[in-house]
Chains A and B, each alone.
Chain A
Amino acid sequence: MSLLSTYLEHIIKVLPDLIVGSMITIEITSFSLFFGMILGTISGLGKLSRKRILRYLSIVYIDFIRGTPLLVQILLFYYGLPGLYSNVTGNPLSIDPIIAGIIVCSINSGAYIAEIVRAGIQSIDRGQMEAARSLGMNESMAMREIILPQAFRRIIPPLGNEFIALLKDSSLLAVIGVHELLKTGQLYISRTFAAFPVYIAVALMYLILTILISRLVAYSERRLGVSDRN
């Protein structure tokens, strides 16, 4: 009984920290998803391009990112690249860990989103492009006006999965000292050694956030799906 009350006490004490950490987690995840969508759309289109150079660049990017662990990418970017910079120039370089986190997570999610976007574009009936072209639209106009808007509606569910995966993966940024959700919990543990209640609280916070995201995704799916039911 006293154990339970001690645990509850720890959870109540750590909760304000965890909420602040959640904000950082949400901030990093949202920015990364936004930039990841831009990167993903560009490289998804690149992979479908008729220009060989664009196709190869996209394939190299996607394969490298998907074929290496995110943790390694984080360490390479945060410690490796500044190291290279100071070896070459002789000057030190330090990057803000949050900025570094957003950059790495954007690049990482961009590669996964690229495949989602590519599949979405390819799922649109060929007749849509032909109809647009037969009306005198050029290829990029047809892509922008006709193909991409339809493809984006279709890829909302896999994008939601990517959003959730990204949110959970952002916990890896704890290793470079980003004060996100997991890290704030760990800092509290290092002061109090209350590992069990705090990790449970951290896990529950992630759970709440991911449930909120899946609700949000389901809602936007309903909102955007109205015109498309055939």
Chain B
Amino acid sequence: MIEIKDLHKQFGELQVLKGISIDIKESEVVCVIGPSGSGKSTFLRCINLLEMPSSGEIFIDDEKITDRKININKIREEAGMVFQHFNLFPHKTTIQNVALAPIKVRKLSKAEAEKRAHDLLKKVGLEDKANVYPSALSGGQKQRVAIARALAMHPKLMLFDEPTSALDPEMVGEVLGVMKDLAQAGMTMVVVTHEMGFAREVADRVLFMDDGLIVEQGTPHDIFSNAKHERTRSFLSKVL
């Protein structure tokens, strides 16, 4: 479903991605782990072109999205993104946050979009918060709204950029629970995370990145119990 070939990204002199190649199948859940500064987030942001790759090719469903002629907005409609800091729209209520893009981008009627937004809020357990503003939500609730907001566009895949890193520990579980449901429902997901428990339990494949490259990849068992590379082992020994 996603095919990435020799992806490079540099910011000025700084080489952040030094040649990433990977195929991701439909319904696959891929967790990306690695030390900070290893390029995990940049890799993820390249997939929906929030960062423009410096070179290399990315295909989503055989469509070359790194093509200059492509309509970037169309690509982004298909790839939902969840951010570390939620980035909810503070001047919109919860339900407006979820319904806005379907109304404006997909041209759904307000009633239809809000009905679907309601269903999504129910799915993430927040139907009673439909009419409050984000400032009245806890971190975990904000992130669940952010997931509902991304799902409202009916994306083909979901990208998660450290979705639980900004949360108080007691709220991590509720967000991971929603993500787990999503994975079980067959959503294609790429998750940059520091939650090794989640990666071990939910991921089909784990990528270990360091210094702009995929050092090692495999099933959670391969990575967490049988890592072949010294760098992987030393990283895991620090975080596990």
Contact = CB atoms under 8 A, between A and B. Distances in A.
Nearest to B85: A127
B74 interface: yes
B114 interface: no
Interface in B116-167: 133-135, 146, 149-150, 153
Interface in B74-126: 74, 76-77, 79-81, 83, 85, 87-93, 100-101, 104-105
A230 B77 contact: no
A133 B50 contact: yes
A42 to B, nearest CB: 22
A222 interface: no
Contacts of A230: 90, 134-135
B85 A145 contact: no
B82 to A, nearest CB: 9
Interface residues of B, number: 29
A194 B83 CA distance: 69
A227 interface: yes
Interface in A136-158: 136-138, 141, 145-146, 149-150, 153
Which 3 A-B pairs have CB atoms at the shortest separation, nearest pair first?
A136-B77, A131-B87, A135-B101
28 contacts: A127-B85, A127-B87, A128-B87, A128-B89, A131-B83, A132-B101, A133-B76, A134-B76, A134-B79, A134-B150, A135-B77, A135-B149, A135-B150, A136-B76, A136-B153, A137-B73, A137-B104, A137-B105, A145-B100, A145-B104, A150-B89, A150-B90, A153-B91, A226-B133, A227-B135, A228-B133, A229-B135, A230-B135
Interface of A: 125, 127-128, 130-138, 141, 145-146, 149-150, 153, 226-230
Interface of B: 48, 50, 73-74, 76-77, 79-81, 83, 85, 87-93, 100-101, 104-105, 133-135, 146, 149-150, 153
